[in-house]
Amino acid sequence: MYVHVPGIGILVPFLMGLATWYEAAPGAVTRSGTLYSPSAMACAVDQTYYPYLVGRKMAIVWEKQVFVVEVNDSGAFLDAGLFTWNQEDQLWYEAQGEEIGCPVVVDLPEETHKALLGGETRLVELCFIVEVGMGRGGGMEVL
């Protein structure tokens, strides 16, 4: 299912999972060669998807809010395993045994994560952004 967000485009769901954050020294070089900034509207995705997503603008959807970030880094998120929500203490924990869990799908710079998601690990949807009528010949174009 997709949804049109005025001013952004059509959002096509790609992955659902957790949004976490990371720290690096300001000015450290990301995998794409850009410099890390703790407040950049950028993100890291799993190393498996990185070659296909680097430089692409993606939408993060959380509780009906939409944030646009650019993929510029990667990590070994799928290798980190799955995480499950503990209702009692309101925290995510590594899934054990047969527990159903969610993977990390996007990692944001620390200050960006605090500003957009309140500094808490959140369940989000990572979406492609599609513009209608912007491609050559008036077709759809994935940004």
> Could you tell me if 124 and 60 are in contact, meaning their C-beta atoms sit under 8 angstroms apart?
yes
- Give 97-117 pLDDT, tens digit per residue: 888 899 999 999 999 999 999
Residue 99 has what pLDDT? 87
Pick the CATH number of 3-142 from 3.20.20.120, 2.40.40.10, 3.30.420.40, 2.40.40.20: 2.40.40.10
Residue 120 has what pLDDT? 93
Q: Which residues touch 133 (CB under 8 Å, ≥6 apart)?
A: 139, 140
- Give 115-129 pLDDT, tens digit per residue: 999 999 999 999 999
pTM (2 d.p.): 0.86
Residue 14 has what pLDDT? 94
Tokens representing residue 87 in the block: 């209702």
Arithmetic mean of pLDDT, 127-141 = 66
Q: Which residues touch 13 (CB under 8 Å, ≥6 apart)?
A: 1, 2, 125, 126, 127
